[in-house]
Amino acid sequence: MLDRHWHNQNNCRPSYWSHVTTVLTICLLAIAMGLGGCQSLSASSPPPLIKTSEPVQLGNLREVSPPKTIQALASSFNQYQPQVTILSPAPDTVLKKTTVAVKLRAEDLPLNQNDTVPLRAHVHLILDNEPYRAIYNLDQPIVLEDLEPGTHTLRAFPVRPWHESYKNDGAYAQVTFHVLTKTDSNNPDSDLPLLTYSRPKGDYGAEPILLDYYLTNAPLHIAATNDADLSDWRIRVTVNDESFLVDQWQPIYLEGFETGENWLKLEFIDEAGNLVANRFNNTVRVINYQPDGQDAFSRLMRGDVPLAEAYTMVGLDRPFGVEPVEEAGEPEQLVETAPEPAIQTEATESVELDQQVEVEETEVVVEEVPLAAPKETIQDLNTSPEGITEENISESPPQLSPDIQQPEAVEEPELVGETEEEILQTMVEEKVIEEEITELPTAPSEPLDKLTPTPSDS
């Protein structure tokens, strides 16, 4: 019995534990599926949306303000509203060869063709979705060779010397053409929003690094909010597997790049996080960052350049729209010319106060010296009302100025008491005023107290 009972118990045990095992397995599977579902949900969640008031901060990557030198230079270039046009090739042209000559026109853009200037305003020209070509001289066509047969698209827009794009109306130009035949490639839909990658590109020797792009056909956020038929948009930025979203079309300056190669991806997505399916709306670039670069651009971005040198580096003597030399010169001219009316006024008052005495003094010197017109005499002696006194006759004639106290000459009592012979003798002994008395007018020899002004002196 025991053996059978034990045997029966042994026979029952596999059945019991099988049931328990099944239950546990189901529970574990349910838990695993739940965790997997949570992980899948987390992975599909969009990255954080970075508002303009919320600077980027993801791991080592962070958003910073533009360098102070760039902010100072910006005012010199922000005054422009460039207008760019692609003159050739014409839209929808079918070329019979694999070479095309591109002609551009840019208005209201301060282009500088001096190759000695390291940083200059220019135009970014993009073929299909290739990295841009910097065009500084628009007088000559840009020749593109060995083009693949099929459809191609050119995009062009102006940029400042540090590659930040102008985003005003009319700054962007786009043309689609064909080489030998038409194809579906490189032909963006003109009815859909289009993202054009601009910066960063190439090699960098300093941070911050500019992130910049161009948008066309993107609706305003307020319009998308008020119109259910319009889908709002975002730009998803991925830098070395770190992603964030931006909803404002403006340049972003980033720091925290790794030394060596870094990759970036820009995507134009809708409000649900889905990629808007248009050509060029998903672009990836690889850049190389090596700190401590000593080229002009690296020094400018790092802030190692004094502002005066920075203006020279971008081809400026001073900020556009500001003329500090002329502004400084205007008050100096006013200082020089302002005293003139006061001098003339004071001189006129002095002439009126001293006219009687001077006329009398002039007519005292007579007989032996040929004299000139009386009006010239008054003007000459006018500058030295005390010139015929013994105390001042040896001194050079004083110049008129606001500080000269002309009326004191009227109070000289000795002038009336001097005789003609004394005055003549003094003039002979002191030759300083010989040139003046040679031009004095002739007048009859009379006693000084009886002389009166002639009609021509009034």
DSSP 302-347: HT-S-HHHHHHHTT-SS-TT--HHHHHHHHHHHHHHTHHHHHHHHH
Domain 49-313: give its CATH superfamily: Immunoglobulins (2.60.40.10)
Domain borders along the chain are 49-313, 354-457
Instruction: Specify the higher pLDDT residue, 103 or 423.
Output: 103
Rounded Cα distance between 31 and 50, Å, is 35
pLDDT at 180: 98
pLDDT at 416: 47
Residue at token pair 């006693």: 447
Per-state percent for the chain, helix, strand, coil, to nearest 5: 35, 25, 45
CB-CB neighbours of 232 under 10 Å: 18
pLDDT at 403 over 70: no
pLDDT at 141: 98
Strand partners, 107: 83
Three-state DSSP at 154 gives strand
Contact 388, 423 (CB under 8 A): yes
pLDDT at 221: 75
Burial of 389 (0-12, 13-18, 19+ CB in 10 A): middle
pLDDT band at 226 (very low <50, low <70, confident <90, very high): confident
Average pLDDT across the chain, whole number: 75
Instruction: Specify the higher pLDDT residue, 6 or 124.
Output: 124
pLDDT at 79: 96
pLDDT at 119 over 80: yes
Residue at token pair 């009592």: 413
Residue at token pair 């998803």: 236
pLDDT at 445: 46
β-sheet with 49-50: strand ranges across:
49-50, 242-246, 233-239, 260-270, 282-289, 203-204
pLDDT at 40: 35
Q: What is the mean pLDDT of residues 228-241?
A: 89
Instruction: Choose the weakest-confidence range: 33-42, 172-181, 221-230, 238-247.
Output: 33-42
pLDDT at 326 over 70: no
pLDDT at 58: 78
Q: What is the pTM of this model?
A: 0.61
pLDDT band at 44 (very low <50, low <70, confident <90, very high): very low
Most trustworthy range by pLDDT among 224-238, 261-275, 420-434: 261-275
Instruction: Specify the higher pLDDT residue, 372 or 249.
Output: 249
pLDDT at 169 over 80: yes
Three-state DSSP at 220 gives coil
Instruction: Specify the higher pLDDT residue, 91 or 419.
Output: 91
Element (H, E) at 125: strand 122-127
What are the backbone dihedrals phi and psi of residue 70, each rounded to the nearest 5 degrees, phi first?
-65, -40
Most trustworthy range by pLDDT among 154-163, 317-326, 359-368: 154-163
Q: What is the mean pLDDT of residues 158-187?
A: 98
Instruction: Choose the weakest-confidence range: 165-174, 272-281, 427-436.
Output: 427-436
pLDDT at 314 over 60: yes
**Residues of the chain above pLDDT 90, percent:** 52
Q: What is the mean pLDDT of residues 385-396?
A: 45
pLDDT at 246: 94
pLDDT at 190: 93
pLDDT at 313: 96
pLDDT at 32: 52
Q: What is the mean pLDDT of residues 442-454?
A: 44
pLDDT at 176 over 90: yes
Considering all CA atoms of the chain, what is the largest pairwise distance in Å, rounded to the nearest integer? 181
pLDDT at 317: 81
Q: What is the mean pLDDT of residues 374-394?
A: 44
Rounded Cα distance between 379 and 436, Å, is 10
pLDDT at 364 over 60: no
Q: Give the DSSP per-residue string, 195-217.
A: EEEEES-SEESSS-EEEEEEEES
Most trustworthy range by pLDDT among 27-36, 224-233, 245-254: 245-254
pLDDT at 92: 97
Instruction: Specify the higher pLDDT residue, 342 or 28.
Output: 28
Q: What is the mean pLDDT of residues 21-39?
A: 52
pLDDT band at 220 (very low <50, low <70, confident <90, very high): confident
Rounded Cα distance between 458 and 453, Å, is 7
**Residues of the chain above pLDDT 70, percent:** 56
pLDDT at 10 over 50: no
pLDDT at 301 over 90: yes
pLDDT at 400: 43
Residue at token pair 């009227």: 410
pLDDT at 17 over 60: no
